[in-house]
Amino acid sequence: MLVRPAGVDDVERVAEVHVLSWQVAYRGLLAQSLLDGLRPAQRVPRWTAAVRQAAWPARGVLVADDAGDVVGFASLHPSADHDQDPTEVGEIASFYVLPAAWGRGVGGRLMAAAVRTLGAAGFTSATLWVLETNAHAIGFYAHRGWEPDGAVRDDVVGGIAVRDVRYRRELAV
């Protein structure tokens, strides 16, 4: 498996991984009707823009490429949070691995590459947001040195009130 910057040719598969990951990871956490209604085509414009706006190493989309098949991705950029300095804090805005690839080390390698990339951009720390009730993702992040920093944000997703918790880790620069 290889972790590399995403290209425009990867966008449709990134959108598929995004939807399939949501449909499994958020089952029981978000409305099933919302999850059932997700379509990769809805996410293609978002990922096309993200790939085209890449400015490595501070901004872009990394993909986990397993023999030519994208099985995971991480979207990186300077922090968008108002209480963070975007010159010092990078953010992993999206991090998803195809459920069929869970437990195979893909996520760990992708996360290590994301952390290295943000460090190479000169950020001293990184943040990410995770659904407060997503125990699977929280365990994954905690195992890799991420810790909650006390920030929370409330949102409504598919008509359901949810709370996201911000996690942080220091980066080697």
- pLDDT, tens only, 58-86: 999 999 999 999 999 999 999 999 999 99
Question: Can you tell me the distance from the alpha carbon of 90 to that of 121, in angstroms, rounded to the nearest whole number?
Answer: 8
pLDDT at 170 over 90: yes
Could you give all domains of the chain from N- to C-terminal order, each with its CATH number?
2-127 (3.40.630.30)
Report yes or no: 91 and 126 within 8 Å, Cβ to Cβ.
yes
- Stretch 91-103: mean pLDDT: 96
**Which pLDDT band, with edges at 50, 70 and 90, does 47 fall under?**
very high
What is the model's pLDDT at position 65? 97
Report yes or no: 144 and 105 within 8 Å, Cβ to Cβ.
no
Helix (H, G, I), strand (E, B) or coil at 119: helix
What is the model's pLDDT at position 173? 61
Task: Provide the percentage of residues in the chain whose pLDDT is more than 90.
Answer: 95
Quote the tokens at residue 104.
Answer: 């195979």
Quote the tokens at residue 30.
Answer: 């978000």
pLDDT at 172 over 90: no
What is the model's pLDDT at position 63? 98
Please state whether beta strands 125-131 and 89-97 pair in parallel, antiparallel, or not at all (unpaired): parallel
At a CB cut-off of 8 Å and minimum separation 6, what does 12 contact? Answer: 40, 44
